[in-house]
Amino acid sequence: MISRLRYWSAFTFFRWQFMLLILGCLVVYRYLVTIFKDAGVAEWPRVEVWMKILVWAVVYLCSLSIVSLLISYIFFRIRESQGRIKVVLNMPEGKTPQAGKVKIEIMISRVLRPFLGFIEVRLLFPEWNLTDNILLSENRDGFFKPVNTVAGSGWIDLHHRGRHQAEEVQILFTDMLRLMTLPVTLHSANKLLTLPRELKEEDFSIFPSATEEEDVRIPVPKRIQGELLNYKDFESGDDIRRIVWKIYARSGELVVRVAETRDPYASHVYIAAGFYNNLIDEFDRDAGNELLNFYKDYLRQVYAAVSSNNPKVKFVYDQDFNKDEADSQLSVNLLYIATAKWQKDLKPYEALVQPKTAVVCLSSATDAEDLKVLLEHLPIHVPVIVFALSTCIEAKALPQIRKIFFKDEADPLSELKSGWWASPLRRKLKLNEQKIQGILRSRGNSWLMQMQTNEKKQ
Averaged pLDDT for residues 162-184: 88
CB neighbour list of residue 258: distance below 8 Å, 6 or more residues apart: 225, 227, 230, 231, 232
- Residues 198-235 have pLDDT tens digits of 887 765 555 555 444 445 444 444 444 444 345 667 77
Beta strand residue intervals within 267-356, DSSP E: 269-273, 313-316
What is the distance between the alpha carbons of residues 105 and 89, in angstroms, rounded to a whole number?
A: 6
**H/E element holding 150?**
strand 147-158
Query: What average pLDDT does this structure show over 407-424?
Result: 74
| Residue 420 near residue 393 (C-beta atoms within 8 A) | yes
Tell whether the model's pLDDT for residue 386 goes beyond 60.
yes
Q: Which residues contact 375 (CB under 8 A, 6 or more apart)?
A: 384, 439, 443, 446
Report in angstroms the alpha-carbon separations of 129 from 138, 295, 427: 26, 24, 30
What's the rounded mean pLDDT across residues 253-264? Answer: 62
Question: Does pLDDT of 413 surpass 90?
Answer: no
Q: What is the pLDDT of residue 202?
A: 65
More confident site: 341 or 257: 341
Q: What is the pLDDT of residue 397?
A: 55
Give the separation between CA 325 and CA 323, rounded to whole angstroms: 7
Q: What is the DSSP letter of 36?
A: I
Cβ neighbours around 437 below 10 Å, total:
15
Backbone φ/ψ region at 372: left (φ over 0), alpha (ψ -120 to 50), beta: alpha
Q: Which of 162-166, 320-324, 379-383, 402-406 has the lowest mean pLDDT?
A: 402-406
Our CA angle for 90, 289, 271, nearest 5°, is 80
More confident residue, 21 or 107: 107
Range picked from 30-44, 147-161, 186-200 for highest mean pLDDT: 147-161
Indicate whether 313 pLDDT > 60.
yes
Helix (H) or strand (E) holding 169: strand 168-175
Q: Which of 59-63, 138-142, 154-158, 449-453 has the lowest mean pLDDT?
A: 449-453
**How far apart are alpha carbons 340 and 346 in whole angstroms?**
14
Range from 7-21, 86-100, 156-170 that averages highest in pLDDT: 156-170
Percent of the chain with pLDDT over 90: 23
- 424 in helix, strand or coil? helix
Confidence (pTM) = 0.75
CA distance 207 to 263: 12
Give yes or no for residue 296 having a pLDDT over 90: yes
CA atoms within 13 A on the CB side of 231: 15
**227, 232, 235, 239: CA torsion to nearest 10:** 10
Q: Which pLDDT score, from 0 to 100, does residue 236 have? A: 75
Instruction: Please state, in angstroms and rounded to a whole number, the distance separating the CA atoms of residues 237 and 458.
Output: 62
**Could you tell me whether strands 100-112 and 87-90 are parallel, antiparallel, or unpaired per DSSP bridges?**
antiparallel
Measured in whole angstroms, the distance separating CA 59 from the mean position of its chain's CA atoms is 48
pLDDT 10s digits, 26-55: 888 788 777 777 666 677 788 778 888 888
What's the pLDDT score for residue 435? 94
Q: Given this model, what pLDDT does residue 410 score? A: 59
Write down the mean pLDDT value for the chain. 80
Q: What pLDDT does 261 receive? A: 46
CB 193 within 8 A of CB 329: no
DSSP state for residue 291 in the 8-state scheme: H
Residue 55, H or E segment? helix 44-81
Average of pLDDT values for 157-166?
Answer: 89
Residue 226: the pLDDT is 43
Q: What is the dihedral of CA 6, 128, 167, 79, to 10 degrees?
A: -10
Task: Note the pLDDT of residue 148.
Answer: 86
pLDDT score for 208: 53
Enumerate residues 6+ apart whose C-beta is below 8 A from 36: 43, 44, 47
Position 401 scores a pLDDT of 55
The per-residue pLDDT for range 362-376, each reduced to its tens digit, is 999 999 999 999 998
- What's the CA gap between 332 and 336, in Å, rounded? 6
Model confidence pLDDT, tens digit, residues 68-100: 899 999 999 999 888 888 888 887 666 788 888
Is the confidence at residue 383, as pLDDT, over 60? yes
Mean pLDDT to the nearest integer, 7-31: 79
**Does pLDDT of 431 surpass 80?**
yes
Q: Quote the crossing angle between the two packed helices 368-377 and 424-440, to the nearest 10°.
A: 30
Percent of the chain residues past pLDDT 70, beyond the cut: 81
Rounded Cα–Cα distance for residues 387 and 362 (Å): 6
Question: Which helix (H) or strand (E) covers residue 78, if one does?
Answer: helix 44-81
